[in-house]
Structure 1
Amino acid sequence: MGPGPVNADPRVLRAMSAQLIGQYDPAMTAYMNETMELYRGVFRTSNAATLLVDGTSRAGIEAAIVSLVAPGDRVLVPIFGRFGHLLAEIAGRAGAEVHTREIEWGGVFTSAAIEQAIVEVKPALLAVVHGDTSTTVAQPLDELGEICERHGVLFYTDVTASLGGNAFEMDAWGLDAATAGLQKCLGGPSGSSPISLSPKAVARIEARKSVEAGIRAEGDAVRDDPIRSNYFDLAMILDYWGEKRLNHHTEATSMLYGARECARLLVEEGMDAAIERHRLHGAAMAQGVAALGLRIFGDRAHRMNNVVGVFIPDGVDGDRVRTALLEDFAIEIGTSFGPLHGKIWRIGTMGFNARKDAVLTTLAALEQVLRAEGHRLTAGAGVGAARDVYAEAVA
């Protein structure tokens, strides 16, 4: 019950146990095509270039940035948590001139502040995290696409922690690139990174296309700004997933099965229903921890549906509470990073764990551990508050 990875849906694990097949088996290429179409539904996009990057969510982030950003390009990264720093680091390693804007963890940027930074920096790319589990808040994106369009800026976001559990509209919000991971609201294991690219992003990537050294023909031009990776070269990955089926790597077959099942389950449930499920169980958890006398961290107006941060009470040993939950109840919750390390716990309700029984069991266990620490609370208050949220939802 932490900020991810969380328990995978048993149906996803079952799908991953299927036997391997060759990467050009007609069944395999059909699965790839089906997976692309399913993720168009998850990202809410018509982008043809919607596929998987083999590797954890960080692989998708790196593939997007290294393929979109040429050495010397200016990249603007608004940072409101740990993972904004990650985007800035990867952009720097890609040779970009990185410009950052930072605010105190727990808040989000206004659209006006980001537009002002765009005017000042004149970046080629705006790279921003959507939901940052280190702070449990989500940056509003709905106005940023239009701003980027007006200023001629490509717009990328990392939706690893938010996709499937929070509102996200790739096309309606004007995104050019978005990357995710399976291990949070999508209900799968880490190891595959869904990605979607707009036609504008694809054009940028294709413009930087380089010929693989081992098959370069005489007369092939050598670009001065080639994509600085072979494995994460989205131009070659797009050719692999597209009609050309040009070999780039051997597809991670079992991860493809799992990623396909994650998307199939979400699309079957309905994206609006999945988001509402995360909102309901996240609200029940938040009300429950508040009723236990725990103070919620961050801007509550922008809190993610799928994770809540709570301050560790004075006089309570945060690590001892986490250890007791794990050893006595087999429940894991998270600590945090950077300026929040040792100050808050992060409790997730996402993917397969966005369920009533998981929420109530966690609250009941947390109450017992807090009582053992001497934290004053009203017996049964956490579970009772959560049950009230569920009762209101069906009233």
Structure 2
Amino acid sequence: MLEQIGEIDPPQRLLMGPGPVNAHPRVLRAMSADLLGQFDPEMTAYMNEVMALYRPIFGTENRWTFLVDGTARAGIEAALVSLVAPGERVLVVNFGRFGLLLTEILERVGAVVETVDAPWGEVVPLEAIAAAVERFGPKVVATVHGDTSTTMAQPLDGLGDLCRRAGALSYVDATATIGGMEIAADRWGVDVVTGGLQKCLGGPSGSAPITVSAAAAERIFSRRHVEHGIRRDDIDDGLGVRIGSNYFDLAMIMDYWSEKRLNHHTEATTMLYGARECARVLLGEGLEACFRRHAAAGRAVAAGIRAMGLTVFGDDRYRMTNVTALYIPDGIDGEAVRRRMREDFEIEIGTAFGPLAGKVWRIGAMGYNARKHKVLITLGALEAVLRAEGFSSIPPGAGVAAALAAWTDSATA
């Protein structure tokens, strides 16, 4: 048995899909550090540093800025199950696969869900959200910032004010954009924002940064209740809290990230190290510089695609900077192209979901991979594979040349 199952030795693949991407070497090094106990003062000092590091990344002064142990979806689910009680109304701004995910999680919570929708490739106008809020009267409004299934980024200016006037809290899933596009929780006035490491932050999947406003924290803590005559403040094991989940109960998790350090679960120490280093790398580069790099990479990918005679999917005005979708040319087997990219060039590009399945590829240039040479290598490989698959109308070298010019123009703008 042992002879048949060897040491892990994955291929050195360039991950240029919608995520995950290759982790930054500094992050991987940080994750190889020795473990500490979860109440060790050095460990809790690292936790405090993580909270401080992620506040500027979320664009917030929120005291409650911390990590949920688990993939990005753990942060999404923790936010929703902690904010929403069964029977409460929630409005979901839906413009892609991950708006549907919010709906699915909320339905499991027992919420009464209504959606305000846009076709895939578009976003939902603020006026349409306002009309739905007025008609439906939700307790919470939930949306995705950047939906990688459609590559669109929902504008969020004004959303928080709209929700506050209606007496609603707001939730934003920023998994696909945090670290690559501006997240402005305080300026937007949104209450809870969650993210993930595995895209623009250049880390592995497994930790979900989150920020929670004072109003949302009040709502979360208010869901404590008296059970069998025992008040929550009289115990230290979390048994006085009841929501739909124990592991994802933010009130209990926040007690651990507070000065109380009340036990909830064993902290994922290695992932905390990784999340900490992701933030250090990003802030060391500078937020604005990182946003410019992602924008330059996105422009270069789109320019290269168009120069090869291919068509970019979606509304240019609202495209995410870090993921670009392109239509698969007629007569080309999309999965054969992806397979040859992987087998011949060790490059992964993405397929698609739902109504776009089999119609588009998705190319991501984010985090450690939002770099000029990686974009150029990917476009050059795509040209070679398309030619080999029979799409011979590409002007030789056009994609790489156009991407290089676009990147250069971005650097001098």
Match of 2:316 in 1: 300
Post-superposition offset of 1:226: 3.7
Give yes or no for the alignment of 1:354 onto 2:370.
Answer: yes
Give me the TM-score of the superposition, normalised by structure 2: 0.92
Give me the TM-score of the superposition, normalised by structure 1: 0.96
Q: Within 5 Å, give how 1:185-196 maps onto structure 2.
A: 185-196=200-211
Percent identity, aligned pairs only, is 61
Post-superposition, which runs of at least 4 consecutive aligned residues in structure 1 deviate over 4 A? Answer: 210-213, 215-220, 222-225
Q: Is the 8 A contact 1:74 1:98 kept in 2?
A: yes
Post-superposition offset of 1:217: 8.0
Q: Which runs of 5+ in 2 are unaligned?
A: 1-15
Q: Within 5 Å, give how 1:284-363 maps onto structure 2.
A: 284-363=300-379
Residue deviations 1:19-51, cap 9 Å, x none?
101111111000000000000011010000000
Match of 2:11 in 1: none
Tell me how large the CA RMSD over aligned residues is. 1.9
- Report the AA paired with residue 306 of structure 1: N
Q: Within 5 Å, give how 1:159-198 maps onto structure 2.
A: 159-198=174-213
- Secondary structure at 2:65 match in 1: strand
Residue deviations 1:47-103, cap 9 Å, x none?
000000000001000000000001111000021100001101111111111111222
- For residues 97 and 85 of structure 2, the distance between their equivalents in structure 1, rounded to whole angstroms, comes to 24
Q: Measured at CA, do residues 328 and 217 of structure 1 come closer, stay the same or move farther in structure 2, by a change above 3 Å? A: closer
- Report the AA paired with residue 255 of structure 2: D
Give yes or no for the alignment of 1:8 onto 2:23.
Answer: yes
Give yes or no for the alignment of 1:89 onto 2:104.
Answer: yes
Give yes or no for the alignment of 1:67 onto 2:67.
Answer: no
Post-superposition offset of 1:12: 0.4
In the alignment, which of 396, 402, 412 is matched to residue 379 of structure 1?
396
Q: Is the 8 A contact 1:210 1:223 kept in 2?
A: no
Q: Measured at CA, do residues 211 and 367 of structure 1 come closer, stay the same or move farther in structure 2, by a change above 3 Å? A: farther
Give yes or no for the alignment of 1:125 onto 2:113.
Answer: no
- Report the AA paired with residue 96 of structure 2: G
- For residues 171 and 340 of structure 1, the distance between their equivalents in structure 2, rounded to whole angstroms, comes to 34
Q: Measured at CA, do residues 219 and 201 of structure 1 come closer, stay the same or move farther in structure 2, by a change above 3 Å? A: closer
Q: Within 5 Å, give how 1:196-215 maps onto structure 2.
A: 196-210=211-225
Q: Measured at CA, do residues 7 and 210 of structure 1 come closer, stay the same or move farther in structure 2, by a change above 3 Å? A: farther
- For residues 119 and 312 of structure 1, the distance between their equivalents in structure 2, rounded to whole angstroms, comes to 41
- Secondary structure at 2:340 match in 1: helix
Give yes or no for the alignment of 1:272 onto 2:308.
Answer: no
Residue deviations 1:114-143, cap 9 Å, x none?
000000110000000000000000000011
Q: Is the 8 A contact 1:70 1:226 kept in 2?
A: no
Q: Is the 8 A contact 1:77 1:87 kept in 2?
A: yes
- Report the AA paired with residue 118 of structure 2: I
Match of 2:386 in 1: 370
Q: Is the 8 A contact 1:130 1:138 kept in 2?
A: yes
Give yes or no for the alignment of 1:111 onto 2:123.
Answer: no
Q: Is the 8 A contact 1:70 1:225 kept in 2?
A: no
Q: Which runs of 5+ in 1 are unaligned?
A: none
Q: Is the 8 A contact 1:67 1:232 kept in 2?
A: yes
Q: Is the 8 A contact 1:71 1:225 kept in 2?
A: no
Post-superposition offset of 1:224: 12
Match of 1:80 in 2: 95
